[in-house]
Each structure stands twice: as structure tokens, then as C-alpha cells.
Structure 1
């Protein structure tokens, strides 16, 4: 039993979401390369015509999309776009036999609709429709046989891309929550330094915070798809983080000229502890760490200072963020079997 654990340890480590997050660039590059080689072997082993379209599809599907949810979205969009575009191209070829002018009019109409929707939410699908139409129909010199081969190659390339994305499943949801954990930890450190009047390079700290926030924004759609949730919950958490950023920026501006908060540090300690607990809870999937009961903000009896009001708002924002994470946590836990299994195994080894 112990030998089996030792032999399977490297594989279990590679499947750990935290390991995948920490080495996502290297793993992504390796996965794309393996998928490309696999497609190349298929092309060289079987008499596949226009096989380069399979390789193009693999690179396009995986090239700049490392996350499983995003690959799945892109696969659906490309498959739909390719199918519709191929059918439109075949119709154009049929119309070309009747009248070239009629065929070109049909192609122009499809391109018009494709361009109109290309800047919409389904932009990639619309763009794929237009590209496939041109590839299939050409200027009337295409053939049905070529069209079917190209469509089949795109479908096979999409399937290979999905298989490669599932090999070491880098989930956008994991990337999102690890970035959120880093931002919550950063928030605790920033507020602790400001409240205690300890010098801190605020520009650098807030820069790191904002860089993660921008990255998280691009992950929301794929992350929501992976845990089968609407993007609204993620957007609320995103908004809470923007509020934290704004509060820290304002606190830093007035900290040197404003008296410390009125509660003698109790509120500060409670907020810092809540942020650290939330960071640990979302990183290691412990919902109980999000159950933080912050004391009511204690303002001065007369003329509360600006830091008092900002600290009170920070306390409310922290509570709201933890509440939103608690609501989202069941959906996150449902997608995290690997990490949970590793955590339970480690806990059992510790008890033994």
C-alpha cells in the first residue's frame, strides 16, 4: 500500500490544482506540443486529405487558451461556426452552378451577417462562419469533397484539443480562486501596514493587486461555465475587490494626517484576521474559514475621523465578500475532487 502511494505520488502531484496553477505556463506549452505531435502522427499514419486544417485547429483551440472551460467554450463555438460556414459554402457552390452572381450575392450576405455578429458575444462563432464559408466556396472553384474533408479535419482537431485540455485540466476556476486568495492576503497586509502606520510601497502593492484583478476579470466567463454558475456571483466578488482597492488607495492618502481608528486596534485585528482566513479558505477549500463575524464598527462619539469611516466601510465590504464566497463555495467544491482527495489523504496520514 505504501509502495503504491509512493509510485503514484508524482501523478497525484501533477493533478493537484495548486501545482497546475504554479506551473501553468510550462504545462500549457507541453500540452499544446503533445496535441500537435498527436495530430501530426494521425496525419502521417492515415490518408487524410487537407490534414493541415486539423493541425491549425489544434493550435488555434489551445494556443492561447490554457483553461479547460475556455477550451470547451471555444470548441463549441468553432464547431458551430465551422458547421454553419460549411453548409453556407456548400450552398454557395450549388448556387454557382446556377448563376455565379447569385452565389457571390449569397456569400456577401453571409459575410455581412458574420461581420455584424463578430463584435457580439458570439463573435468567434460568427467569425468562424465567415472564414469557413470563404475556405469552402472560394470563388466558385471549390469542391464538395474538399469541403467535407476540411470540416471533418476541424471536427477531429477540436476533439484532440478537448482531449489535450483534459489531460492536465487547468481550470479557470482554480486560477481565479488562487488569484483571489493572493489578493485577499495582499489586502490583509496592506490594511495592517496602513492602520499601524508602518511604511509600505503602496504603489507596488496596489499594482500587484490590480494586475491580479484584471487577470481574474478575463477568467470569469470560463470559471462560471466550469462550475455551472452564472457570472453574476463572480462579478459581485470582483466588485468587492474593486471597493477594497479604492478604500486602500484613499486610506493611504490620508493615513499620515489622520488619527488612528477609534477602537484601539480591535477592529483592525478583526478585519486582518478575516481577510487572512478568507484567503486560506478559498485556496484550500475550507468554507468554515469564511464564517467571520466582524464586530460592529466603533466610531468616535464626536467627529469620527476619515480613517474611522473608511475602516467601517472596509469591514462591511469584507463581510459582504465572505458572504458571496460562502454562497459560491458549494459549486466550487463540486469541481474540486482532486484537491479534496489529496487534502483528506494528507489529513489521514497525519493522524496515523
Structure 2
């Protein structure tokens, strides 16, 4: 046995290595997204000032203004690619129109004509600003005014401002891809947090632990708040991982269905039942609830880490296998039991028939296959609810419905795992 003062087996990482590891960690960037975005914009602003002032570019302030317009309100990588291109296009188009107005003013010399042309351009930009090309239309009009003024700017001023606009765009795009904040990670971590909370609440219901009304309202408000946040992230996630938004909508719908079923269980007859009725419910549905809890936690872990974890893989796989047998005996859908042992190692959802043996035999992560289709409830399942008191028949079937929804949610996540598992992409690319 090693003594207390013996050297550690694994040496401590240097401070610089720990700092680099923390900054490059997706979860660290997710937890400190606002700080990193503010730091990135601040450094980009400083760089634009030094770049324009250091080489004495006239009207260099417009480089900083363009920088803030392009990157200031964009945080996630999925939005940056689209919105930055739109803003760059609008800025260049507006600068070209502004220079054209200056040229016509110098050639014709009619200020009323210049004012009318600027008003017409602004009206056209306003037409497009309401539609899907809103950023391009709005920035075209703004940049036109910046470059041309009211038509009285000289041509060299317009050219210098156009150059500054281009410099600001380049700096903004360069800094926007430094330590990018992926919306996919925010979506995954938020969904994983909700699934863990659902597993915690479901277990407390089974164990007969009473949940106060205030605590229950607080917990479900927090879950629903994250649910709304996930909805706002879906367009960016779809752009980042190249998945049709309809797939994410299906995952969101199943997620919402799981929360609704759990809330009905938490506020239904099960919470008002006496100790004897709860004991009967526990005897009948205990294995089912534990299997659903296992599946919720396994799915959350797969979303959180994006890969199988070696730590505890054997013990968790064995425990999930026992739960799968109990669930199968209780006539739950086949997928609920068959997928539990595959995902407790943190891997995306898979059929246990293809993953149980490899996990039990080795510590390495094995290839995963999609979930098998859900098996519909058979008539034999109906008899399993008969021993329960009449007032607990509803919670029993609601629990069956919850198990089916969780299995479907996990299957949907498995179907898109090759897209949202960004870590797998980063590991495969160097090998390729």
C-alpha cells in the first residue's frame, strides 16, 4: 500500500496546459459564453484601432463601427457564417451606391436629385429589410449614408470609408472564428440538463418523497425555461450541423411531451395516494421507473460528453442489463429495455443487442447502431395494471406513455448523432 507522502501516479498538468485545456473545452466555453464573447469583441475592437491608427488610415473610426455592426450581436458560430456574409454584402453594396451618388453629384451637381435618389434607395432597402434579407437591406442603406453623407462628401472620403469598412469586415470575420461558440453545445447541454432533472423528479415520485408545491413550480419553471432556450437555438444548430430543422423540431416535440407527461404524474393522483397505494405502485412499476431513469441519465450523459466513458462502463452496463430484463418482464416497449445498457457508458443511443457484448468485454468505445423501432403495447400489457388500485390505473398508463416517449426521444437523438456529435468529427478529421 502506498504511503501518504508518496508521489501521485498521474503528474499534475502545468498551469499553462490547464489554462489552454479549460479555454478549449466546449463545456467551459458554454459556461462562460458571455465572458468569452465580450473578450473577443473587445480584443477585435483594440486590434481594429491599432490597425487603422498604426498605419495612419484616414477615417479609421469606421473600421471599428463596421466591426461592431458585424460581430457585436453575433455569438454562435452558426449565425456568424450566415449573418456575417449578409452584413458584408450589405456593407459592400451600400458603399458602392454611396460612391455612385458622390460621382453623380460631382458630375451633375444637383443636390435635389441626390436627395431624391437617396430617398429611393432607402425606400427600396426598407422593402427588403422587412423580408428574409433584412440585414442586407438595412446595412445597405446605413452604409450608403456613411459613405455618401448627403451627397456632399468628396470622392476620396468615400473611398477611404469604403476601405475602412472592408478592413472592419475582415477583422470581424477573423475574430469571429477564434474560439467559436457553437450553438450545438448549448443545445446539447441544455437538453442534457433537462433530462437529468426529469430523471431526478421521476425517481423522487417513485420513492414516495413528497415534493412541495413551491419546489415543484420552481423545478418545472426552470425546465420550461431551458426548453424555450432550446427552441431559440434550433436555427443556429441546424446551420452548424447541417441537419434539417424538421429533425430538430421532432426532438423538441418529444422533449416537450416527456415534460408534459412527467408534470401530469407529479400533479396527479400518485402524489395524493396513501402509503399502501404507493407501495403497490412501487412493486408493480419500480423496475420500469428505474429503467426509464437509466435511459434518461444515459441519454443525458451521451449528450454531455459526446462519447463513451471508460469510467464505470462495466458496472453501469451490468446494472442496466438487469433493468432491461425487468422492464421486458413488465411488458414495456422493447426499446426501453434494449437500449439501457448501451448508453450508460455515455455513448449515443444504440440497440443493446449490438452493444451489450462489446461493452462487457472491453473498455473501448464500440461502434453504435441505430435503435430498433418501438414495439407497440400488446394486449398482455393491459393485464399488468389490474392489481393496482383504480385511482392508480391512470398514473400507470401515463408512466407507460412516458417510457415510450423517452425511447422515441432517444431514438431521434441516435438518428442525428453523427451530426451533433462534433467531438467525433474532430477526432476523425486528424486520422483522415
TM-score tier, shorter chain, comes to 0.7 to 0.9
Paired residues for 1:290-301 under 5 Å? 290-291=349-350, 298-299=381-382, 300-301=385-386
Q: Deviations over 1:195-228 (max 9, x none)?
A: 4442232211111112222222222222222222
Number of the residue aligned with 2:157: 146
More helix by share: 1
Name which structure has the greater RCO, CA cutoff 8 Å, separation 6+. 1
Number of the residue aligned with 2:406: 318
Number of the residue aligned with 2:227: 213
| Equivalent residue for 2:75, pick from 66, 75, 90 | 66
Q: If the length of structure 2 is used for normalisation, what is the TM-score?
A: 0.70
Cα 1:101–1:210 change in 2 (3 A) is same
Matching of residue 11 in structure 1 with residue 45 in structure 2: no
Cα 1:145–1:3 change in 2 (3 A) is farther
Number of the residue aligned with 2:293: 272
Cα 1:143–1:313 change in 2 (3 A) is farther
1:280 CA displacement: 0.1
| Equivalent residue for 2:61, pick from 31, 52, 56 | 52
Number of the residue aligned with 1:170: 181
Cα 1:181–1:266 change in 2 (3 A) is same
RMSD of aligned C-alpha atoms?
A: 3.0
Paired residues for 1:96-107 under 5 Å? 96=105, 97-98=107-108, 99-107=110-118
Report SS of the residue matched to 1:49.
coil
| Equivalent residue for 1:227, pick from 238, 241, 247 | 241
Q: Is the 8 A contact 2:199 2:297 kept in 1?
A: yes
Q: Is the 8 A contact 1:57 1:157 kept in 2?
A: yes
Any stretches of 5+ residues in structure 2 without a counterpart?
Answer: 1-9, 309-341, 344-348, 353-373
Number of the residue aligned with 1:249: 263
Q: Is the 8 A contact 2:306 2:423 kept in 1?
A: no
Paired residues for 1:173-184 under 5 Å? 173-184=184-195
Q: Is the 8 A contact 2:59 2:164 kept in 1?
A: yes
Q: What is the aligned length?
A: 339
Report SS of the residue matched to 2:132.
coil
Q: Is the 8 A contact 2:205 2:271 kept in 1?
A: no
Task: Tell me the distance in 2 between the aligned counterparts of 1:59 and 1:284.
Answer: 34
Task: Tell me the distance in 1 between the aligned counterparts of 2:121 and 2:65.
Answer: 23
Cα 1:193–1:115 change in 2 (3 A) is farther
Matching of residue 79 in structure 1 with residue 61 in structure 2: no
| Equivalent residue for 2:46, pick from 2, 22, 37 | 37
Report SS of the residue matched to 1:61.
helix
Number of the residue aligned with 2:397: 309
Deviates more, 1:113-122 or 1:201-210: 113-122
Deviates more, 1:88-97 or 1:231-240: 88-97
Deviates more, 1:30-39 or 1:7-16: 7-16
Cα 1:3–1:250 change in 2 (3 A) is closer
| Equivalent residue for 2:133, pick from 122, 131, 135 | 122
Task: Tell me the distance in 2 between the aligned counterparts of 1:53 and 1:4.
Answer: 48
Q: Is the 8 A contact 2:210 2:271 kept in 1?
A: no
